Structure 1
Amino acid sequence: MRGTRVEIRTAALAHNAGRARRLAGDAELFAMVKANGYGHGLLTAAQAMAPAVEGFGVAVMEEAVALRDSGIAGPILVAEGFFDADELEHARRRSLEVVVHSLWQVQLLLAKPAPTRIWLKLNTGMNRLGLRPEWALQAAEQLAAAGMKPLGIMSHFACADDATDSVSEKQLLLAAEVAQRLQLPLSTANSAALIRYPHARGQRVRPGIMLYGSSPFDWQSASELDLQVSHRFSARLIAINEIQPGESVGYGATWTAARAGRVGVVAVGYGDGYPRHAPSGTPVAVNGQPTILVGRVSMDMLTIDLNGIDAQVGDEVELWGDAVAVDAVAKACGTISYELFCQITARPARIVV
């Protein structure tokens, strides 16, 4: 066996959901399990977190239907709402909560009024999805008149994870004003806001990345936030090469040895979901011993520095997990842990423990 694997830890998922539950206080906790549970498995993540949460959030209708058809009976929020009349009917039949973020969705609802579980989304400054406050007030009135009073008002923070954030407070005040005028519950807090801004909890919180053992902040680690590793990616050494000073490694000869030493070849690459753009110096660990990536990542393999490392063919190399924080890999790659989790392909073996 090649030995490239992703280990999913359900106890860690449950722990992290419990951590979010304590932070949420009296607010409803909806765990975001979109994008296949951030790469952990949609149903695996939902079942592990279920005891701690009131509901689940997904991005699209297909994810919500998959949860319902797998036996998840509680509330499910579809963050991008419905894309057409057929999806709206799916939502109504399955008692799904849909986010209404655009006027064309309002028109679809009014064209065929029927009981629908609606959250109105406000654009409070992120300028992605959401109704302008004045449009939301008008839409809420029209929907209520047609027998479809919204369940609540929601928005999304653009900068809650930024150390110099000066935007979130303005967004919160605007969303809270609309919710108060309509006398409806408010939902704004993602992982960063749930941890950082207790006053932003509202009546429902929607954490994502913290549930999967990753910090939303670049100045505070997951362990400092009492979050546990839920996703461990590893592979095996399949060759060890002696290399001389001046010799290069991999496609493009992007890394050249400054001294004689050993380079290990690891059975993992971008065909498995490891980022091709990971630069030399990206952290890895061999049998728990820290070392670094050298040379360019290829489709099926990558190469690592074995100088000073006690290693032999067949030994385990951790790409991220216990010895190597996923956030450290993400930082080295100029990305975020969300992308690393979500881009793992079907090729590595998935082990749920």
Structure 2
Amino acid sequence: MRPLVAHIDLDALRHNYRIAQRCAPQSHSVAVIKADAYGHGALACARALADEAPAFAVASLEEALVLRRGGIDTPVVLLEGIFSADELEAVDAHRLWMTVHSHWQLEALEAYTPSAPIPVWVKVDTGMHRLGFDPDEAEAVWQALRDAPQAGQLHLMTHFATADAEHSSHYARQLDCAGALARRLKAPLSLANSPATLAHADAHGAYNRPGVMLYGSDPLERANDASRALEPVMTLRSEIIALRDIAPGERVGYGGRYRADTPRRIAVVAAGYGDGYDRHAADGTPMLVDGQRATLAGKVSMDMLTVDVTGIADARIGSEVVLWGRAANGAVLPVDEVARHCDTISYTLLTGVLPRVPRRYHPLP
């Protein structure tokens, strides 16, 4: 079989979740497993956290139904709510928690008769300017839901735009806005995403929403002790499938982008953009060959990429190549470091690993 595999360490996932809990011991940590748990497999990750997380968060009804059909009965929050009124029947039947961020969603809920009141998270736009009610209309929305027999327990939520920054006046304004509104409404709050969970104790509310940190990615502009303790959950691992020596002046790969300035040894690795490895990776993007640092040499192809292994004397056919994650010898290549060389963020790399790459879980979920 082709050697490229995404190894998923569920013990590391639990370790990272417990860091979120330790950062905010007075809060409930909702595990965000949208986008197929950031490419790690939502059902497997939910099973691994089912005894610890009080709730899961997903983007859509379709994602929630994957969990329910897989036997997960933990509460599930729909972070974007419903996309059409006819979804309310499934929200009710599967006992989901619903975000309301728009007037049409409120009206749809008021027109529906559920079998039991549906817990609602009211989203307020405090400065992200994506979803949510304006703060000056949030009180009326909150009161309408309090009066609606269709709505169960209410929570107030918002989303930070700059919680990853070490110092941000925009973050402070969002926090002040949300806090003032919550005090007026006497509302439980859900504020903290991953960076706020790790670095902003003032944002820890009734429910935090750790996401990418669960998978071992550090979302902070400047790492702290908590973020440095995160462990990689996904290791994207392949092998060398060919080796060749090239002379000075020779070029490697499409467009001949990489040019050898001295005699170099080049390894071909079974991984490419057809697997989700970023085609924008620059020459010099790091990887681990038998646990030792090596660098990309030439453009990424659909099914292969080329690595300069000149300084690795033992590199051979079948040598382990870690694109990100933990090597067999314990060396770690953070996905965040790889992302910087691709001019992107870890989220796109993790969620971009395509279905043809098999996921292997340890321990079994």
TM-score of the superposed pair, with normalisation by structure 1: 0.96
Cα distance in 1 for partners of 2:167, 2:179 equals 22
How is 1:331-346 mapped onto 2 (pairs within 5 angstroms)? 331-346=340-355
Q: Would you say 1:246 and 2:255 are equivalent positions?
A: no
Secondary structure at the counterpart of residue 51 of structure 2: helix
How far is 1:224 from its partner? 5.5
Q: Would you say 1:314 and 2:321 are equivalent positions?
A: no
One of 114, 129, 132 as aligned partner of 2:131? 129
How far is 1:149 from its partner? 5.5
Is residue 60–residue 81 contact of structure 1 (8 Å, CA) maintained in 2? yes
Residue aligning to 2:267: 264
Secondary structure at the counterpart of residue 236 of structure 1: strand
Is residue 152–residue 179 contact of structure 1 (8 Å, CA) maintained in 2? no
How is 1:146-165 mapped onto 2 (pairs within 5 angstroms)? 146-147=148-149, 148=151, 151-165=154-168
How far is 1:113 from its partner? 4.8
Residue aligning to 2:339: 330
Aligned residues: 353
Q: Would you say 1:274 and 2:277 are equivalent positions?
A: yes
Unaligned runs of 5+ in 1: none
Unaligned runs of 5+ in 2: 327-331
One of 106, 116, 119 as aligned partner of 1:117? 119
Cα distance in 2 for partners of 1:173, 1:205 equals 17
Distance 1:347 1:222, change over 3 A: farther
Q: Would you say 1:229 and 2:229 are equivalent positions?
A: no
Residue aligning to 1:2: 2
Tell me the alpha carbon deviations over residues 249-285 of structure 1, each in whole angstroms, 9 at most, x when there is no partner: 1011111110112111111100111001101000011
Secondary structure at the counterpart of residue 333 of structure 2: coil
Cα distance in 2 for partners of 1:65, 1:106 equals 22
How is 1:31-50 mapped onto 2 (pairs within 5 angstroms)? 31-50=31-50
Residue aligning to 1:198: 201
Residue aligning to 1:84: 84
Secondary structure at the counterpart of residue 108 of structure 1: helix
Secondary structure at the counterpart of residue 166 of structure 2: coil
Distance 1:294 1:221, change over 3 A: farther
How far is 1:135 from its partner? 2.0
Residue aligning to 2:295: 292
Cα distance in 2 for partners of 1:84, 1:222 equals 43
Is residue 245–residue 258 contact of structure 1 (8 Å, CA) maintained in 2? yes
Distance 1:296 1:190, change over 3 A: same
How far is 1:150 from its partner? 5.2
Is residue 113–residue 146 contact of structure 1 (8 Å, CA) maintained in 2? no
Is residue 23–residue 226 contact of structure 2 (8 Å, CA) maintained in 1? no
How far is 1:29 from its partner? 1.2
Farther off after superposition, 19-28 or 122-131: 19-28
TM-score of the superposed pair, with normalisation by structure 2: 0.93
Farther off after superposition, 30-39 or 213-222: 213-222
Cα distance in 2 for partners of 1:26, 1:152 equals 16
Query: What percent identity do the matched residue pairs reach?
Result: 44
How far is 1:8 from its partner? 0.3
Amino acid in structure 2 at the alignment position of 1:104: W
Distance 1:197 1:224, change over 3 A: closer
Tell me the alpha carbon deviations over residues 123-144 of structure 1, each in whole angstroms, 9 at most, x when there is no partner: 0000011110122211122222
Cα distance in 2 for partners of 1:253, 1:64 equals 46
How far is 1:73 from its partner? 1.4
How far is 1:349 from its partner? 2.3
How far is 1:18 from its partner? 1.1
Cα distance in 2 for partners of 1:256, 1:225 equals 36
Tell me the alpha carbon deviations over residues 146-183 of structure 1, each in whole angstroms, 9 at most, x when there is no partner: 22255110000000002332211211111122222222
Is residue 222–residue 228 contact of structure 1 (8 Å, CA) maintained in 2? no
Farther off after superposition, 23-32 or 297-306: 23-32
Cα distance in 1 for partners of 2:270, 2:112 equals 55
How far is 1:31 from its partner? 0.4
Cα distance in 2 for partners of 1:294, 1:344 equals 21
Farther off after superposition, 140-149 or 287-296: 140-149
